[in-house]
Structure 1
Amino acid sequence: MDLHEVYGLRNLINAETQRQRQMSYSQMRGGAEAHRIRDMLSEAMMRAFVLMDFGEHVDMNLDELHERLHPILKEVLQLESRAKGAEIVHRGLRAVILGRPNTGKSSLMNGLAQRDVAIVSDRAGTTRDSIEVRLNIAGVPMSLTDTAGIRDAEDSLEKEGVERAKRKILEADVVIAVVDASDAEEETSSILAELEELAVASLPVIVVRNKLDLARGKKFSEIESTARLDVVDCLETCALTLEGVQPLLKSLENLVNSLCPDDSGPCMTDTQLLSEAREELENALSVRDTALLCDHLQRALDIFGQMAGSTVSEQILDDLFKQFCIGK
């Protein structure tokens, strides 16, 4: 067995859903891709050495070599994207419900979970700590967390709940921002402004205007994405009657499918090594010195040799021993 088969088997053993199992089989075929890319890099490396040592005697130049590298880089980018998506399939997505107190976050969570997991009350600030439930969205596990309402808290317990809610945002893959539909414009601007400060990257956000029964016939303005917030959808719901819950589930499903690859093709397992190989290829394409290009190509070749199983680092072996309890 090569490393991809080993890691694929590990993921298969730990799989909870059919999609995870199918992705595990795709990862078990990743070794063939590593061998194929390594062979392509090996040929490019041979040509680079010839150009460096015998450039004046061969009918080849640096631009032609770059042309050969572009398709390889494109394939590596695709493999890296698929590997990151596969990580999400196996790890699952982290979704956080966020909003002001008494906007119906807990009712919405109960509607999404199709059972009572959060206490619902007319009293603002009922949820003091984060409540988590597991969902299956398009075959990918999703941990859905209902957080304390974001406001200037009045007591120490509520303050701690608000701080925990903010920390959850830093770990989230998607935020469901819930606002009161009767005061949606001002509340949405305020919540998104706070999210903008907390987000560290382009964080997917689904804006939910809840309590639609209090705002029938009201027209809402469009919400645009920002540098740090990617507003992927904007929906109206009435959590008490479950109106709009199915469209919200569909929106989450669309997000999952956009982040995760299909399971039809081979998929590699090590996103870090793929990222390093991609950087080396990008560096190789950015230089005009053949010797420097050879250095970057050699490092990319070594990385794919490691992924193909030609060389295996001690760290990888340590991980295998830990995860499979080999030798214990």
Structure 2
Amino acid sequence: MTLNTNAIFIIDRSKKKFEVKVMETDTITAISTPTGEGAIAIVRLSGPEAISMVTGLFHGKDLNEVASHTIHYGKIIDPTTSEVAEEVMVSVMRAPKTFTREDVVEINCHGGMVAVNRVLEIILGKGARLAEPGEFTKRAFLHGRIDLSQAEAVMDLIRAKTDKAMSVALKQMDGRLSGLIKRLRQDLLETVAHVEVNIDYPEYDDVEEMSHEVMRQKTKEVHKEINELLEVAKQGKILREGLGTAIIGRPNVGKSSLMNTLVQENKAIVTEVPGTTRDVIEEYVNVRGVPLRLVDTAGIRETEDIVEKIGVERSRQVLKESDLILMVLNYNDEITDEDVKLFEAIQGLEYIVIINKTDLEHKLDLDKVKELAEGRPLVTTSLIKEEGVDELESAIATTFFAGEIETGDLTYVSNVRHIQLLKKASQALEDAMAGIDQDMPLDIIQIDVTRTWEFLGEIIGDTASDGLINQLFAQFCLGK
């Protein structure tokens, strides 16, 4: 049998046996820098013909002869006109010491849209195929360069909104989560194997008997570590996706001023006229390492203005979708029925009460506010004088992270898919422990242990389906 040399061999471990699949691979290309004007743009190629394709277009050194991981000055020649298309620097990286474990070439050209698209068209004309979204990272995964959790961390790194979110993504890319999952899976696999040996070869005296007590101890240890991951998952998810934060209150209490203060930019229009904010305004802001997806809502009140009424309805919808609510009151106003209704609307949700405009005359009944707030944090501010902002930021961080986020030693789980799989793995182990308590046969109990092993394997891609893998990589940007 003759095999195509341009093939990826994939070892499938999903059923505790090795199956070899052969996947054809070709040379792909894409623009790997954001669209728009800039100093430099990069066209990336990966595949068996990446170097030879560019060599045929490059006027400079013979790229087939240069050392790996070197960069060279020259010009790209348009083969249809034999004219110079672009002045470039070309990086050559030879397999297997590349991100995709294939030959990789990166063409650094001028950052204008016309220049980079012209180079891309010439490369496509040479026979390369336009890469699908995330295909470079997908090839790194299929070649065993990274596992699935590390591949997802690449996108987390690109989308990171704060230094701490970036730190968590970098640790996941380095394999911190992968290493832990692989160790837990190995512990479970050894337990299952031990049960099977006891069942298949009971006559061997030198094999330690797998008793219900030993099985209980093994499953409890893994269950404890999985639950420890789930305990910090909420923090990890916030670091990854941001904390959906709605600013609410009656018109003209200082919601837009709060938005501008936190963002440190005039994103929202501030006037003395109630109802100025007619729609929802959204912005990301970093508060002590916590990424807030900050939403300034239209003042919630009864109104006959059609446009303002639409804004109020959108504000009510935002409340339902928020992780945190910043409820703003006016120090210079008495409590109104509208304020009371707002407190009723956010009952059971996580919120902080902000009493703004403390530079004005005191008219607000603070005892009544405390009664309505039911023990929630209460912060006083004068945004016009920038007073109380530090206290507010501290209250936000304390509410969700006990005041400080630790990214040094903790292994954070931040991906929703990972969290759901860990919950399933935890439940499967609980089912196994329930079976042990009922003194069920070990070969029945091991079914739940094996399910746990498979759920954990989906996190790193060892037991993930082709459909899931394709779906995940389709969310990546085109040149990654």
Asked if Structure 1 and Structure 2 have the same fold, meaning a TM-score greater than 0.5 normalized by the shorter chain, the answer is yes
In 2, Cα distance between equivalents of 1:105 and 1:128? 12
The match for 1:33 is 180
2:284 aligned with 1:137, yes or no? no
- Per-residue CA shift, 1:101-157, capped at 9, x if unaligned? 222212222222233222223332222111222211233432211111112222221
- Per-residue CA shift, 1:270-304, capped at 9, x if unaligned? 22211211121222223323455322212111112
Q: Structure 1: give runs of 5+ residues left out of the alignment.
A: 197-201
Change (3 A) 1:134 1:71: same
- The amino acid across from 1:286 in the alignment is A
3-state SS of the aligned residue for 1:240?
Answer: helix
TM-fit CA distance, 1:64: 4.9
In 1, Cα distance between equivalents of 2:355 and 2:340? 12
2:103 aligned with 1:103, yes or no? no
- Decide which of 435, 452, 457 is 1:300's aligned counterpart: 452
2:409 aligned with 1:264, yes or no? yes
The match for 2:349 is 203
Contact 2:244 2:293 in 1 (8 A): yes
Which protein shows a greater Rg? Answer: 2
- Decide which of 343, 349, 361 is 1:192's aligned counterpart: 343
Structure number with higher helix proportion: 1
The match for 1:279 is 427
TM-score, reference length from structure 2: 0.58
The match for 1:14 is 159
Contact 2:289 2:405 in 1 (8 A): no
- The amino acid across from 2:465 in the alignment is S
Contact 1:130 1:147 in 2 (8 A): yes
TM-score, reference length from structure 1: 0.82
- Per-residue CA shift, 1:210-238, capped at 9, x if unaligned? 23233289653645877xxxx65211122
Map 1:310-325 → 2, pairs under 5 A: 310-324=462-476
TM-fit CA distance, 1:84: 4.2
TM-fit CA distance, 1:184: 4.6
Number of aligned residue pairs: 317
Larger RCO (alpha carbons 8 Å, 6+ apart): 1
Map 1:40-189 → 2, pairs under 5 A: 40-46=187-193, 61-181=211-331, 182-184=333-335, 189=340
Contact 1:82 1:260 in 2 (8 A): no
Contact 1:138 1:257 in 2 (8 A): no
In 2, Cα distance between equivalents of 1:88 and 1:118? 25
3-state SS of the aligned residue for 2:313?
Answer: helix
In 2, Cα distance between equivalents of 1:327 and 1:92? 25
In 2, Cα distance between equivalents of 1:153 and 1:243? 32
Change (3 A) 1:326 1:248: closer
- Per-residue CA shift, 1:154-177, capped at 9, x if unaligned? 222122111100111122111101
Q: Percent identity?
A: 31
TM-fit CA distance, 1:49: 5.3
Q: Structure 2: give runs of 5+ residues left out of the alignment.
A: 1-145
